Structure 1
Amino acid sequence: MLLDEPAVAEPPALPRTPLRLGLVAAAIGLAAVAVHAVTVLQGYFWQDDFVIVQRAAAAAPYDPAYLFQDYNGHLAPGMFLLAWLVTAIAPLSHALAAVPLLVAHAGALLAFWRLLVGCFGARRALLVPFTLFALSPIVLFTTLWWAFAIQMTPLLLAMAATLDCHVRYLRTRRLGYAVGAVLWLLLGLAFYEKAILVPALLFAVTVLLGSGPVAAFTAHRRLWLAYGLLIVLYAVVYLSATSSPPAPPQTEVPDTAEYVRRALLDTFLPGLFGGPWPASATGMTWPEPAMAVRIAVAVAALALLVGGIVVSRKRAALAWLALGGYLAVDLTLVALNRLPQFGVLIGNDPRFLADAVPVAVLMGAFAFLPPAGRPGRVRGDAPVTALTAMVALSAVFSVFSLAPAVRFEEGRAYVAAVRGALAADPDLPVYDARVPEHMMVAWGFGQEALLSRFTPLLAVGARFDEPAESVYLVDGAGTPKKVEHLRWTVDGEPGPVKDCGYAVTGEVVGVPLATPVRGKHVLRIGYYTADAGELAVTAAGVEQLVRVEAGVHRIDLVVSGSFSRVDLRRTTPGSPVCAVTVQVGQPWVG
């Protein structure tokens, strides 16, 4: 046999959920998915979302270099495979991209309810921890951002399903549940490296269900071996596919302490209890709560800690120890990797503790509820309905109050405007600039924030950085506007020919600039000629051939690099081209 387990004559039957209790749990789960759907479908892509979609559109789903790419230290082949699928069907369709995440959320809720019933039996008191997880503002708010949700939501599903299969295996010794647990763990690892913490959680649950630590290991050693081999294989792949980031500067102890305080008292505990209060956000960060709120959540948490120990003694102590260990790992990872980069404000970002929500809820249930089949009586079933309703109302209010901060409606409007404008005139000569900062910050994405990276996703054409009588610049609202003016300009030296400037014939004519320039600019040449033809323009060692027309005109060229002169040469027979003005500058539309 694959698993070396002690024989059991008649494995205990798994607890069944009474119809009425199951309907109430289903109603809570459906309400949570509905709240998630309403809020997420009002949003749009933002920041990393666009990079993920761009890479998906340019890749093949079977390419290991695409699936196992190092994305800011993350190894997430499942994420990139899912991104490729939704992009292949409908690029930049936020509604379609949200559908598999809503399905994963529903699956996570179903698996978590099954887990609670498997651990504690079917009892009314389970509605409280289930509601805390299902309607958690920490989970529902953070997964409104697609780039985070595409990692976290599958992780939550895999975590709950792995635990559920593991507990069912402990209850029945059926091999299928053990295999299911390993496969669900593999799925979690495919989306988020934090799934590497799940085996430790499985061990804690095994102990809390009644086994001592030694017995929990020896009785299921082959199952632990299977989990361990999977983690080792993943670690090998992860270390070979990702590069070590440069060591961040050392964070001072006061900063670390302040970060931990913010993360726990300002973010995690208020969110865990249905907050924050007040329920507002700036981007992905929550505001600092009032001192009264901090004191209240700290007192509530302390009361739960002490109350659990009074009710369950050793089991509660083990549960709180497991939760403390999980939170310590989460906080340490952020302190090492994000705190030096963003400072203590990262403590007000709930994303980094979203995976700890189901852990906290499950450990809290172990602290107060006896496992199924164990002696013990649950007190206080009467207030369950009121407590469940109070938690649900607070959480729903918080989620709907927080959601407007992450709708990213400006990005949706920008993309729609660009799609409409370029579809109407696909030959428009467009200066390839970065999209607005509210969509992608320039310091974080560089060339991936250029507008030209978006047009293949929009199924429209455009002439980027091509010579034209006048180029167009797309403004912050997504509207192309003719570039009438340049700013931060550098002029060419006046030409030697009166009323002509530089008479350009078949010989190279050099136009020196007042000062050298560097970077990407628009080179604007004002000219007149009696004969149409072609002109060769060389700047920064790159030659561009442009059409010149008879009469008085101008030509705009996009140039990049470092140069201090512009060379002109007529390449077709005809009268000289008089280059009256030569100017280099940045396009500006006001």
Structure 2
Amino acid sequence: MFVAALALIAVQIVVRSVVAFSGDFYWDDLILISRSGELPALSTEFLFYDHDGHLMPAAFLVAWLSTAAAPLSWTVPAVTLVVGQALASLAVLRILRLLVGTRPVLLLPLVFYLFSPLTLPSFAWWAAGLNSLPMQIALAWVAGDAIRLCRTGRARFAVSGAVVTALSLAFFEKSILVPVVAFAVVALAYRVDGIERPIRTALDRGKALWIPLAVVVALWAATYLHFTHSRLVFPSATQTAGLAHHGTSLGLVPTLLGGPWSWDRWPPSPPWATPPTVLVVLGWAAVAAALVWSLRYRQRTVGVWVSMAVYVAVSEAAMILTRSGPDTAYELAQTLRYVADSAVVIAIGWALIVRAPRRPAVRPLPRPRPVFIVGLVALFVASSLWSTATFVQRWRDNPTVDYLANGRAALAANQETPMLDQPASIYVLLPVAFPHNMASRIFGPLHDRPEFGRSTNYLQVFDDSGHLIPGAVVRIRSIGQGPVPECGYRIENDPVDLPLDGPLIDWEWTAQLNYFASTDGTIEVSLNRSGDTVTVPVQAGLNQAFVRLLGAGDGIRVRPVTPGLELCIGAGPVGAVGPAPEAGS
């Protein structure tokens, strides 16, 4: 059975490798890359950043190493996902062997964990996988260490359990549930084995692990509360019920039968499960049948069912309390990533039910034929693989892929021309991600690219597919022709204010300076009321400079820096940057 289990894991890794290498960066992945290219790896600002309520220094460090090794290359992240999945699967196999031995029944909960689409969305998305996979590893591994410690008394299992828990907390704050699950597994195993006072026995035999786990959790909690801000919200009863229904009936339950079979997506959102009604009904029927069977034919399994239900409820409660709001769509709960780790708990729960002794006073059901069991398992795997295939189709509908590929190629071909910074397409990152949605942050880690600066002599912008196209300043205000015939505004030694035809509020503006320079040199440009100063290189002759200015004013102040530099500046627009008319046509 052990060889068969390893073979099943190998098949799962092949399937998940196809999923991983079919994907690419998405949303939060780009935020990880932005921060990795901007900050030192071992700085507090980098490692202990409050990422939308997540404290995940180890995940940030993995992202930094991946970005440093191969900037904007999907290969390294895909490998980290596959390796993480392999470790999680082996950890689940270990805990299942500890609970049920190497009997053929071991394969049933293992197959569920390996192929259920419940873990699929959090696996395919790199940022989510950096959270979820270490936690899945820890849930299974630390529970296994707790069982081994209570059986053998060997201190190395206490050390291993504490270290793995600390590491998982460094990836994902939800790993605070790892010690709770480990204790529950030991206590429930004692309960189904008929040991008196199972909770007290678990406490006594495992205290060498529980004490260091308590210290680890306390230290982590203090760190978490110091570096993060509370995002707890208390939604209405209607929204709570809606999210719970969508997360359970339309999310988790269909995956118990290999569903959801189909997915929907509104880019840039991630895919969510859209199971047919018949699958939802069959899923609940399967849960009810399993519950009735276990309560009638197995002893002392009520606690196992309650524990699994509580774990799912806690996961959904965490989602509702931290992610709900007036504009929250119920489909959020159908993305499955908030309950992905429940796959480990369900597999362990099923193993505990199988471990429980039969009720002696109840006539047993006829033993099903092996071919029948194999057929059901094959149907589940086929259903899961179909759900996996339809998920990959939706996941590939990712505009970020072309945007990054085209952007890399365009920047590599234009390394000599400085670029004005600009936000990425809204189909890649929405403005709420600022400043990580800026092109300088996303493409910053690349080596073959131009400099992103505050000025350029040739204005280019990225279109929604990542191609560089000619840009233009969309007029809000204008610089007039100036008083000097055939020159406009003459600038020699002192600063000169170029009046605008109206005031500008405190904001980010781009000025198009059409100039004639007597020689190569530099000038300083700013708005005349507030804001910083930009140093702009100029070239001899008739040229243009596009300058990004921050501040407010009713004029553009220009001061020569290079001795002997003289300029004539003509009329030009000041405003926002967009595609040039011929580029957008």
Q: Which TM-score bucket, shorter chain as reference?
A: 0.7 to 0.9
1:203 to 162, 179, 183: 183
Contact persistence 1:272–1:357 (CA under 8 A): no
1:486 aligns with 2:479: no
Look up the match of 1:80: 60
Identity of aligned residues (%): 27
SS of 2:142's equivalent in the other structure is: helix
**Alpha carbons 2:121, 2:335 under 8 Å: kept:** no
SS at 1:140's partner residue?
Answer: helix
The residue number in structure 2 matching 1:349 is: 335
Residues 232 and 321 in structure 2, CA contact (< 8 A), matched pair in contact too: no
What letter is aligned with 2:380? Answer: V
Deviation of 1:156 after TM superposition, in Å, equals 0.9
Deviations 1:127-150 (A, max 9, x none): 221111011212123210000101
8 Å Cα contact 1:128-1:387 kept in structure 2: no
Provide the residue aligned with 2:113 in structure 1: 133
CA contact (8 A) 2:474 2:573 kept: no
- TM-score, normalised via structure 2 length: 0.88
Q: Is the 8 A contact 1:487 1:585 kept in 2?
A: yes
CA distance in 2, matches of 1:244, 1:575: 53
Uncovered stretches (5+) of structure 1, i.e. residues with no partner: 1-20
| More deviation, 460-469/571-580 | 571-580
1:137-536, aligned counterparts within 5 Å?
Answer: 137-210=117-190, 211=195, 212-240=198-226, 242-245=227-230, 248=233, 250-282=234-266, 283-314=269-300, 316-340=301-325, 342-370=328-356, 379-380=367-368, 382=370, 383-407=372-396, 410-443=399-432, 445-483=433-471, 485-493=472-480, 495-497=482-484, 500-518=487-505, 519-528=507-516, 536=524
Contact 2:417/2:458 (8 A) holds in 1? no
CA apart distance, 1:233: 2.4
Residue 369 (structure 1) shift: 4.0
Deviations 1:307-328 (A, max 9, x none): 22112142x2110111111112
Does residue 121 of the first structure (1) align with residue 101 of the second (2)?
Answer: yes
Deviation string 1:57-112 (CA, Å, 9 cap, x unpaired) is: 44444445533333222222322232233233222222112223312211221221
How far 1:571 sits from its partner (Å)?
A: 6.2
- Local SS of the residue matching 1:214: helix
- Point out the more displaced range, 230-239 or 350-359: 230-239
Letter matched to residue 334 of structure 2: N
Q: CA deviation at 1:356?
A: 0.9
TM-score (norm 1): 0.87
Give how far 1:395 is off. Answer: 0.7
Number of the residue aligned with 1:17: none
Q: Which residue is 1:71 aligned to?
A: 51
Q: Is the 8 A contact 2:406 2:467 kept in 1?
A: yes
Question: What is the rounded CA distance, in whole Å, between the counterparts of 1:338 and 1:542 in structure 2?
Answer: 38
| DSSP 3-state at the match of 1:556 | strand
SS in 2 for 1:170: helix
Cα offset for 1:508? 4.3
In the TM superposition, residue 385 of structure 1 has moved relative to its aligned partner by 1.2
* Residues 510 and 547, structure 2, Cα contact 8 Å, conserved in 1: yes
Alignment check: 8 A CA contact 1:141 1:399 kept = no
Query: Residue in 2 aligned with 1:11?
Result: none
1:4 match: none
Question: Which secondary structure state, in structure 2, belongs to the residue aligned with residue 264 of structure 1?
Answer: helix
Match 2:92 to one of 108, 112, 134: 112
DSSP 3-state at the match of 1:209: helix
Secondary structure of 2:229's counterpart equals coil
Q: Which amino acid aligns with 1:329?
A: V
Aligned-residue offset at 1:342: 2.5
Q: 2 CA distance for matches of 1:188 and 1:329?
A: 18
Shift of 1:371: 6.8
Contact 2:517–2:540 (8 Å) recurs in 1: yes
Contact 1:32 1:135 in 2 (8 A): yes
Q: Distance in 2 between matches of 1:111 and 1:538?
A: 60
Q: Is the 8 A contact 1:57 1:84 kept in 2?
A: yes
Judge conservation of contact 1:422–1:428 (CA < 8 Å) in 2.
Answer: no
Q: Counterparts of 2:406 and 2:276 in 1: how far apart (Å)? A: 42
Q: Per-residue displacement from partner, 1:474-494 (whole Å, max 9, x unpaired)?
A: 3233332232x3224322345
Q: Deviations over 1:120-171 (max 9, x none)?
A: 1222222221111011212123210000101111111121111222223333
Bigger mean CA deviation after superposition, 84-93 or 494-503 = 494-503
> Cα RMSD between the aligned structures?
3.0
8 A contact 2:513–2:572 mirrored in 1: yes
Q: How many residues align?
A: 564
Shift in Å, 1:458: 1.2
**Partner AA of 1:344 in structure 2:** Y
How far the C-alpha of 1:468 sits from its partner, in A, is: 4.0
Deviation at 1:534, TM superposition (A): 6.0
Cα distance per residue 1:211-269 (max 9 Å; x no partner): 422333234344332332222222222223x2323553x31101101111100000011
CA distance in 2, matches of 1:375, 1:170: 31
Alignment check: 8 A CA contact 1:492 1:583 kept: yes
CA–CA distance in 1 between the matches of 2:518 and 2:43?
56
Q: Distance in 2 between matches of 1:424 and 1:387?
A: 56
The 2-side partners of 1:62 and 1:572 are apart by: 41
CA separation of 1:328 and 1:467: change in aligned 2, threshold 3 A: closer
Q: Is the 8 A contact 1:455 1:462 kept in 2?
A: no
Please say which of residues 394-403 and 215-224 is displaced more in the overlay.
215-224
Aligned partners of 1:266 and 1:294 also within 8 Å: yes
Counterpart residue number, 2:574: 584
The answer to whether the 8 A contact 1:284-1:350 is kept is no
- Give the residue type in structure 2 aligned to 1:55: R
**Alpha-carbon spacing, 1:305–1:81, altered in 2? closer, same or farther (3 Å):** same
Closer, same or farther: CA 552–202 of 1 in aligned 2, 3 Å: closer
After alignment, is 515-524 or 135-144 more displaced? 515-524
User: 1:369–1:387: structure 2 CA closer, same or farther, 3 Å change rule?
Assistant: farther
Which one-letter code corresponds to 1:489 in the other structure? I
Residue of structure 2 aligned with 1:44, choices 16, 24, 30:
24
Q: Does the 8 Å contact 1:256/1:344 carry over to 2?
A: no
Deviation of the 1:354 alpha carbon: 0.3
